[in-house]
Amino acid sequence: MNRYAPWKYLLIIIILVVGSVYALPNLYGEDPALQISGGRAAEVDESTGKIVGEALKKAAIDVKQMGIESGKLMVRFHDTDTQLRAAEYVKGALSAISNGYVVAFNLAPSTPAWLEKFNALPMYLGLDLRGGVHFLMEVDMPAAIRQAVEGYAADIRSLLRDNKLRYTVLRAGEQGVLAGFSSEEDRERAHNLMRDNFQLLTVETVNNTDRHELLIYPGDQEIKEIQDFALQQNILTLRNRVNELGVAEPVIQQQGKSRIVVQLPGVQDTAQAKRILGATATLEYRAVDTEHDVERAVAGKVPAGSRLYYERGGRPILLKKSVIATGNQIINARSGFDQSSGSPMVSVTLDAQGARSMLKFTKENVGKPMAVVFIENRSETTLVDDKPVTRPVKVEEVVSVATIRDVFSKRFQTTGLDSPKEAHELALVLRSGALAAPIEIIEERTVGPSLGKDNIERGFQSVVIGFVAVLIFMAFYYRVFGLVADLALALNLVLIVAILSMLQATLTMPGIAGIVLTVGMAVDANVLIFERIREELRNGNSPQASIHAGYEKAFSTIADANITTLIAAIVLLGYGSGPVKGFAVTLAIGILTSMFTAIMGTRAVINLIYGSRRVARLMI
């Protein structure tokens, strides 16, 4: 007799129930939605929902559902046209309260609450099927050059100081670094130093009789290298930030000489994506100027070597222009809570250069104050003639001023942040790397399928046609055994969808191709088994013995064929990218699930039908 142990039946039932639960969310679809989240200066609560609701009601826009989900206000609509029209009114209404709100387009899953309790969510669809978020970013190249010139100014200042060469003026400007000296001799000596130490810079003598000045600036080749570096560094940083967001199969590529395209297929939290990718938040550690009067600086008389800043409470403070360490030198950052005060903090680790600079400064300035400057480029939306207008704004504020109690270098903490959320996001941005130059999101949209609805319909039709064709063939050719194989094939599709959903993988058109290929390959195992059973019956064996022999003797052949295909899928997964990976993922998952359903699943059903009774002949 062919019988399974009870635990095997129980195992199969558990797998099928779990698979069905996690595949089920894909049947409920998605709603076009606006996702509203708050920043440091804005908080999402019931009053926010009331304001948004009144604005949409006034504009006669029909809302399907509105509520706070995971700390964000989600406004769902019946169609994308309504979603796009509602966005302008929502942004305009919220801008009158605060510029801290982020309004982003989203496709929110309509999964019932009871499924969400099991963390059962639909799988993502790629840009070629469902769409996603598309950002077009502009790198601020003039800012990149200014930053480079400011860096040269600091290096030149150190070089002159080390060579005990005094200067009367040294400042970074639009044209380059201007350095003035007290005599012609000093200027010539400085000229030789610049030429020997900065081969990539152009050094020119300024023709004046009494100032003895030099103009040091990057040449055309150096400017091109600065721009190329800024673009490539920003692409690398954005890639790291996308990895922090956990987005599958992103597209991050250069467009032209100063633009970057970022596509995030299947992304759920578009507001967070916009905030993290567009953030140029970083930190600067500066010495506090305790030698000059802050009130005189506020009145407009700022000392030459200092700069006026403001703390978050609005109190003015004078800081030295020279920077001790910057976000570029941070190699790791983690958020947490300060043990002494319980306030949010970011634990920072500097690279070797930053650690040396910090060690030198703290050695010389124990007992003196040091400030932490938080720098962020963000967009603010205001109503102009009843229309929302967005403009970039640079925010620089002192988040912390602390007295240096002891010498430190590589590791330390930054406190003074408003909330754990701000600490977490700042740590994320710092950890993924500082941007080499500011970037501005000049275009943001939720894109539809790249080939329109035809892609979705044809992809679905290809699966259905292939599936139905195999069902008919198996049922006609192998009769009862063929129907069992059809049942296993249907369960195989359910398990593939369930695993993709559990992994929160992104399904693309190549992924659908992998599923279609799996549908055809999944019955190969059953064909081998059933033909082996037929052969055993022709050799005069009993039905029960033929069933046993068919499954036992065909197993090694099935295993060999599937393992070789699985190896090919793993190679594609390891060395491929984008669409190739999407194909490899679904193919690999399909191979594993088909092995389970075609061998163990069909054997269980056949055992239930024939295993407990004597039969004269098999319907095969």
**Res 390: pLDDT:** 62
Task: Report how far residue 449's alpha carbon sits from residue 456's, in angstroms, rounded to the nearest whole number.
Answer: 8
Q: Which CA distances in Å does 362 have to 226, 291, 356, 372, 414?
A: 32, 18, 10, 14, 15
pLDDT for residue 48 is more than 60: yes
- Work out the average pLDDT over 165-173: 83
Task: Report how far residue 418's alpha carbon sits from residue 13's, in angstroms, rounded to the nearest whole number.
Answer: 51
Tracing tokens 């979603």 back to the chain, one arrives at 83
Tokens for 470, please give them. 């195999």
pLDDT-derived band at 246 (thresholds 50, 70, 90) equals very low
Amino acid at position 256, single letter: G
* pTM, rounded to two decimals: 0.58
- Work out the average pLDDT over 411-426: 72
568-583 pLDDT, tens digit each: 999 988 877 667 888 8
- The pairing of strands 124-125 and 506-507 is parallel
Task: Report how far residue 166's alpha carbon sits from residue 365's, in angstroms, rounded to the nearest whole number.
Answer: 24
Contact criterion met (CB below 8 Å) for 437 and 230: yes
Q: Which CA distances in Å does 36 have to 42, 68, 72, 78, 565?
A: 11, 9, 6, 18, 46
Least confident of 17-21, 42-46, 140-144, 315-319: 42-46
323-373 pLDDT, tens digit each: 888 877 777 777 788 777 777 888 888 888 888 888 989 888 888 888 888
Domains of the chain: 6-24+450-610 (1.20.1640.10), 30-109 (3.30.70.260), 142-220 (3.30.1360), 223-447 (3.30.1360.200)
The span from the first CA to the last CA of the chain, in angstroms, equals 18
